[in-house]
């Protein structure tokens, strides 16, 4: 019988960079003292692929500068505590309270930033008729009343985030719920599985939308990769 822990591990491994591993040039796994245990994942599409919803310059800065900085600082933290360097990214975030106090905030902030952004890039795709289908659509209707109601609730939650943070669609205790977290915190740390997240830090939208967060959130909702979200949901159900 597949346990919830096994399901979470399977999802992380199957979606690519959420559980980042490195192999050295001789084919061996890295030692605990490897300086770059975690790598910046590729976007998987061109910087301008989400135009006009998200502009190319924002994508370039967001991925190449902001996300890259989280990865670099996470690796710096792991250099201080090589005893946890072999843990996957998912394990670090899920069990953040078990890491040494000396790097706990670094793992929460920089490890969370790495995990959250990796999920974010995979959750975006420009596609006509963008909406969930199949079991995921049924689950959204069951938990929120309709897809339209879900979109409205997701938008409202994103608008209520004070300062910097994220708004999530989360699988928690056999239900789908909408949650928000401050900074780079993640529902994974509190027992939930994030299916998708909307980044509402200003760096995610300020070049194009300035202070118009509502317009940015509406734009992101039009380019969510529901096929990717459905794959995560399906593996959880399995």
pLDDT digits over 180-221, tens only?
999 999 999 999 999 999 999 999 999 999 999 999 999 999
Provide the sign of the torsion angle of the four alpha carbons 80, 81, 82, 87, taken in this order. negative
Beta bridge partners of 224: 124
Q: How confident is the model at residue 168 (pLDDT cuts 50, 70, 90)?
A: very high
Beta bridge partners of 197: 168
Q: How much is the average pLDDT of 151-166?
A: 98
Q: Mapping DSSP to helix (H, G, I), strand (E, B) and coil, where does residue 124 land?
A: strand
Domains annotated on the chain, with CATH:
134-237 (3.55.40.20)
H or E, element range at 185:
none
Residues sharing a CB contact under 8 Å with residue 5, sequence separation 6 or more, in sequence order: none
pLDDT greater than 90 at residue 64? yes
Q: How much is the average pLDDT of 132-154?
A: 97
Region for 127 from its dihedrals, namely left if φ exceeds 0, alpha if ψ lies in -120 to 50, beta otherwise = beta
Q: Mapping DSSP to helix (H, G, I), strand (E, B) and coil, where does residue 237 land?
A: helix
Share of residues in the chain with pLDDT > 70 (%): 85
Question: Each residue of 91-122: pLDDT tens digit?
Answer: 999 999 999 999 999 999 999 999 999 999 99
Share of residues in the chain with pLDDT > 90 (%): 80
R_g of the chain, CA atoms, integer Å: 17
Q: How much is the average pLDDT of 20-24?
A: 32
pLDDT at 36: 80
pLDDT greater than 70 at residue 133? yes
């Amino acid at each position: 019988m597949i346990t919830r822990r096994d399901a979470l591990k399977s999802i992380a491994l199957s979606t690519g960079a959420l559980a980042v591993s490195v192999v050295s040039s001789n084919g061996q796994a890295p030692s605990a003292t490897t300086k770059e245990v975690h790598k910046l994942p590729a976007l998987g599409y061109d910087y301008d692929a989400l135009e006009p919803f998200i502009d190319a310059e924002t994508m370039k800065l967001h991925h190449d500068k902001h996300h890259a900085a989280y990865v670099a600082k996470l690796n710096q933290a792991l250099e201080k505590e090589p005893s946890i360097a072999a843990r996957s990214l998912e394990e670090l975030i899920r069990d953040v309270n078990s890491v040494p106090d000396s790097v706990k905030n670094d793992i929460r902030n920089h490890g969370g930033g790495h995990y959250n952004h990796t999920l974010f890039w995979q959750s975006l795709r420009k596609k006509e008729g963008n909406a969930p289908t199949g079991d995921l659509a049924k689950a959204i209707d069951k938990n929120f009343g309709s897809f339209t109601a879900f979109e409205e609730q997701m938008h409202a939650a994103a608008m209520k985030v004070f300062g910097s943070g994220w708004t999530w669609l989360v699988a928690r205790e056999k239900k789908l719920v909408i949650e928000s977290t401050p900074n780079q915190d993640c529902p994974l740390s509190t027992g939930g599985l994030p299916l998708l997240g909307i980044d509402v830090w200003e760096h995610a939208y300020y070049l194009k939308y300035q202070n118009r967060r509502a317009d940015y959130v509406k734009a992101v909702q039009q380019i969510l990769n529901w096929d990717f979200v459905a794959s995560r949901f399906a593996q959880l159900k399995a």
